[in-house]
């Protein structure tokens, strides 16, 4: 009798939406990204366009669900692309696009590989990223910090660090 009552209660709660199974492939994770980046030919006071690429050792630390898998911990991050796509990048502003890939640790062991595309807009050191990561929306607010000795106004920036929070959401 108790078993029948439990089944009936669970069925009733599920019917009114109080108990839901996780969606297959659901995504919702908060992350922190950090990576070194090289720029060629680099940015200065004069508008230019070129390419960028992450340096080895980039990290993406996430907690949540990605592609229906619980993730937690720090994984690897790589990316590359083009800058200067909106009339050229300068010290003051810029825009571009690229591709990224990451390997994230699963909760309980193992890893999951994800990949995507993004666009960015930069105003000074503030970089806003929008894109997709394995079919889910991606948003990030990163800081662009030139490497030591590169101040953009007097010395062209050819390498920097980007770091900040990111969110991977529902399907795009």
**Which pLDDT does position 27 carry in this prediction?**
76
**Which pLDDT does position 25 carry in this prediction?**
53
Q: Which pair of structure tokens corresponds to residue 146?
A: 């030139």
- Distances in Å between the Cα of 4 and the Cα atoms of 7, 8, 131 are 5, 6, 48
**Which pLDDT does position 172 carry in this prediction?**
55
**Which pLDDT does position 6 carry in this prediction?**
32
**Which pLDDT does position 171 carry in this prediction?**
65
- 95 alpha carbon, distance to own chain's centre: 16
Low-confidence ranges of the chain (pLDDT < 70): 1-26, 171-172
Residue ranges of the alpha helices (H) in the chain? 2-15
At 87-137, the pLDDT tens digits run 999 999 999 999 999 999 999 999 999 999 999 999 999 999 999 998 899
**Which pLDDT does position 22 carry in this prediction?**
39
Closest CA to 162 of 122, 134, 130, 132: 122
């Amino acid at each position: 009798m108790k078993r029948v009552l439990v089944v009936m209660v669970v069925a009733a709660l599920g019917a009114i939406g109080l108990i839901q199974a996780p969606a297959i492939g659901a995504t919702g994770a908060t992350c922190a990204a950090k990576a070194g980046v090289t720029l060629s030919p680099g940015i200065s006071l004069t508008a230019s366009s070129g390419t960028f690429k992450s340096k080895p050792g980039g990290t993406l630390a996430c907690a949540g669900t990605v592609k229906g898998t619980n993730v937690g911990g720090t994984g690897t991050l790589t990316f590359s692309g083009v800058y200067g796509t909106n009339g050229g990048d300068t010290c003051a502003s810029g825009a571009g696009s690229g591709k990224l890939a990451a390997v994230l640790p699963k909760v309980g062991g193992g890893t999951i590989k994800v990949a995507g595309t993004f666009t960015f807009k930069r105003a000074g050191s503030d970089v806003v990223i929008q894109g997709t990561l394995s079919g889910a929306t991606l948003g990030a607010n990163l800081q662009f910090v030139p490497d030591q000795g590169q101040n953009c106004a007097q010395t062209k920036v050819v390498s920097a660090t980007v770091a900040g929070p990111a969110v991977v959401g529902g399907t795009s």
